[in-house]
Amino acid sequence: KAGVTQTPRYLIKTRGQQVTLSCSPISGHRSVSWYQQTPGQGLQFLFEYFSETQRNKGNFPGRFSGRQFSNSRSEMNVSTLELGDSALYLCASSLGQTSTDTQYFGPGTRLTVL
């Protein structure tokens, strides 16, 4: 089974721009969760989509948004980029139906904001 894929792997943007990141989950997984990882804050939860609906949301500003398509692929968008948005963005997929369902992470997208 193919793992979680994320594109692009690396991005360099400037302040004020917007960016869209993509995540394709493991086949059969309906839940996609997004996390931001920085050295200072560790792994922080952004949001989770399950069957095209946002099911959980973390404490990030409205500049961070996402969506999920009918094939479970997910995108997240960050508008009006700030320097502090530089981070590794990770998506994780799971079946999303029980508390023991494991989340598998993709390789991440490294975003640098200049």
Partner 1 sequence: QKEVEQNSGPLSVPEGAIASLNCTYSDRGSQSFFWYRQYSGKSPELIMFIYSNGDKEDGRFTAQLNKASQYVSLLIRDSQPSDSATYLCAARRGSTLGRLYFGRGTQLTVWP
Residue showing tokens 């598998």: 104
> What residues from 40 to 59 belong to the interface with partner 1 (CB under 8 A)?
42-43, 45, 48-50, 55-56, 58
Nearer to partner 1, 80 or 107 (CB): 107
CB of 87 to partner 1, least distance (A): 13
**R_g of the chain, CA atoms, integer Å:** 13
Nearest to 49 by CA among 4, 91, 110: 91
Among 16, 101, 112, 114, binds partner 1 (CB under 8 A): 101
Helix (H) or strand (E) holding 55: strand 53-57
Binding mask 68-87 for partner 1 (x = CB under 8 A): --------------------
- Least separation, in Å, of the C-beta of 61 and partner 1? 18
Sign of CA dihedral 12, 16, 18, 21: positive
Please name the amino acid found at residue 43.
L
- Can you tell me the distance from the alpha carbon of 83 to that of 62, in angstroms, rounded to the nearest whole number? 16
- Return residues touching partner 1 (CB under 8 A): 31, 33, 35, 42-43, 45, 48-50, 55-56, 58, 88, 90, 92, 94, 96-108
